[in-house]
Structure 1
Amino acid sequence: MKKPLFRFLPLIILVIAIAVAYAFDLHHALSLESLNAQKDKFQALTETHPILAPIIFVALYTACVALSLPIATLLTLLGGFLFGLAAGTLLVVIGATLGATIVFLIAKTALGETLREKAGPFYKKIESNMKDNAIGYLLFMRLVPLFPFVAVNVVPALFNVSLSVFFFTTFFGIIPGSAVYVYFGQQLGAIDSLGDIISPSMLLAFALLGLFALIPTLYKQLRNRKARVATS
């Protein structure tokens, strides 16, 4: 009895933390207007505390992602404004990866183990396919900005993807998208709407990049299918 309870404890704590964050309206704590109004103050604090500021930024970004607060895009823009393209992208990617990993580990411990204990053959088949092709699938989902970030954190956990694969694909998969927002964040005052940042052509470019990452996986599956047909 204690073991299942302990397994679900991190998930319970996370759900309570998310509920508290939303109850205190933290998901509305930051807006493009407030960011522009306070940007000079944030910049002054960053210049005054050049070592502490990046650490606090990463911690805030990690908490934002772990609590599924919909302000990560705004924090990414702020990162570009405060730290520039290279450092800003690195800090954003570190914070996002750490936050995503927290959610992944909690979901894997609480939900993934339970699913595996009660799973039937259909789940086992999906789990096997997911584990064999996890890098291609996850890179595709990270590169193409159509999949909800929190969903891509949880789904791999349900199908027993390893921590190392999840961490690798998250870290490298979110670099292109993060770099775009960080780049635009450098001209924070000139942005009137978040919709001005991502154009249809940019979405297409990300989609093609995701498909490119998926090519080795598709080739592997095609080769395995041909091998099965040849031996049947």
Structure 2
Amino acid sequence: MGNGTAEQGIRGKAAPQHPLLRRLPLIAVALAALFGAIFLRDTLSFETLAENRENLLAFRDSHYLPSVLGFIAAYVAIVAFSLPGATIATLTGGFLFGAFPGVLYNVAAAGTGAVCIFLAARWGLGARLAARMDAGEGLVKRIKAGIDDNQWSMLFLIRLVPAVPFFVANLVPALVGVPLFRFAVTTFLGIVPGAVVYTSVGAGLGEVFARGETPDLGIIFEPRILLPILGLCALAALPMVLKLVRGRKGL
């Protein structure tokens, strides 16, 4: 009787997964990113969008829902596999669907792709790395503790600051043990300002194409755009500043 119970208990326990199996999604992302950097850099470009604009508009007009679903699926894949062309995809969303609802499609696609790569990184490396950082000593542990104490602010900051690469903002939170819900909320909300700017630029591409020009993607660094975004960054950083001041004053 006792042996039977013991055998059932052993069978009930899930066999430990091989480390390579856990890393397969992250390996797939890395290989796809390498493939994209080598072979797709010239394909997912503004020139390609300009050359195919009439066909894209015609397909949108005759098959609106499939065009929306196809666009979102393609954008999710671009972000999830860190392929080149995320900015072009955002412009395309504005060009095909207007500033609104194009911005909704762009945020939904970019946010979903970010969650996918976050999950791949966390499943493959993040959980173990975060546990090691928690169990570590000295500087590493202090850095991890500092991130944990200010996760909301830090996550919003890396989304709002234009200089932080999008794939970096997707991977780093997974490697330091950020919860999925917190990552998802700050991602979907934090990418809205930049998405609004680039979707609006995309919505005006018809005139740009007519003049034979290329869009000014540096518009986000113009004072009228950058200053409000920096204001949002300051608001995101405010809780960290208050904690620092209170800590020094012993409040």
2:214 aligned residue: 192
Q: Work out the CA distance in 2 between the residues paired with 1:97 and 1:171.
A: 5
Q: Work out the CA distance in 2 between the residues paired with 1:118 and 1:144.
A: 29
CA shift for structure 1 position 37? 2.4
Q: Is the 8 A contact 1:101 1:167 kept in 2?
A: yes
1:6 aligned residue: 21
- After superposition, the C-alpha distances for 1:13-45 in whole angstroms (9 at most, x for unaligned) are 22223233344x123212222212221211111
Q: Is the 8 A contact 2:122 2:177 kept in 1?
A: yes
Give the aligned CA root-mean-square deviation in angstroms: 2.0
- Give TM-score, length-normalised by structure 2: 0.83
Q: Is the 8 A contact 1:130 1:161 kept in 2?
A: no
107-116 or 90-99, which deviates more: 107-116
Q: Work out the CA distance in 2 between the residues paired with 1:62 and 1:110.
A: 20
Q: Which structure has the bigger radius of gyration?
A: 2
SS in 2 for 1:28: coil
Q: Which residue identity does 2:143 align to in structure 1? A: I
Q: Which residue identity does 2:183 align to in structure 1? A: F
Q: Is the 8 A contact 2:157 2:237 kept in 1?
A: yes
Q: Does structure 1 residue 124 correspond to structure 2 residue 138?
A: no
| Aligned pairs (5 A) from 1:30-41 | 30-41=44-55
Q: Does structure 1 residue 218 correspond to structure 2 residue 204?
A: no
Q: Is the 8 A contact 2:60 2:96 kept in 1?
A: yes
Q: Which residue identity does 1:197 align to in structure 2? A: I
Q: Any stretches of 5+ residues in structure 1 without a counterpart?
A: none
1:139 aligned residue: 156
2:91 aligned residue: 77
Q: Work out the CA distance in 1 between the residues paired with 2:248 and 2:123.
A: 33
1:92 aligned residue: 106
Q: Is the 8 A contact 1:126 1:159 kept in 2?
A: no
Q: Work out the CA distance in 1 between the residues paired with 2:26 and 2:241.
A: 34
Q: Work out the CA distance in 1 between the residues paired with 2:215 and 2:99.
A: 20
Q: Does structure 1 residue 150 correspond to structure 2 residue 167?
A: yes
Q: Does structure 1 residue 176 correspond to structure 2 residue 196?
A: no
Q: Is the 8 A contact 2:115 2:170 kept in 1?
A: yes
Q: Does structure 1 residue 66 correspond to structure 2 residue 83?
A: no
CA shift for structure 1 position 117? 4.2
1:21 aligned residue: 36
Q: Work out the CA distance in 1 between the residues paired with 2:217 and 2:36.
A: 26
| 1:107 aligned to which of 94, 115, 121 | 121
Q: Is the 8 A contact 2:201 2:215 kept in 1?
A: no
Cα 1:151/1:196, change in 2 over 3 Å: closer
Q: Work out the CA distance in 2 between the residues paired with 1:84 and 1:132.
A: 40
Q: Is the 8 A contact 1:93 1:174 kept in 2?
A: yes
| 1:205 aligned to which of 228, 237, 245 | 228
Q: Work out the CA distance in 2 between the residues paired with 1:30 and 1:19.
A: 14
- Give TM-score, length-normalised by structure 1: 0.89
The count of aligned residue pairs is 227
Cα 1:179/1:195, change in 2 over 3 Å: closer
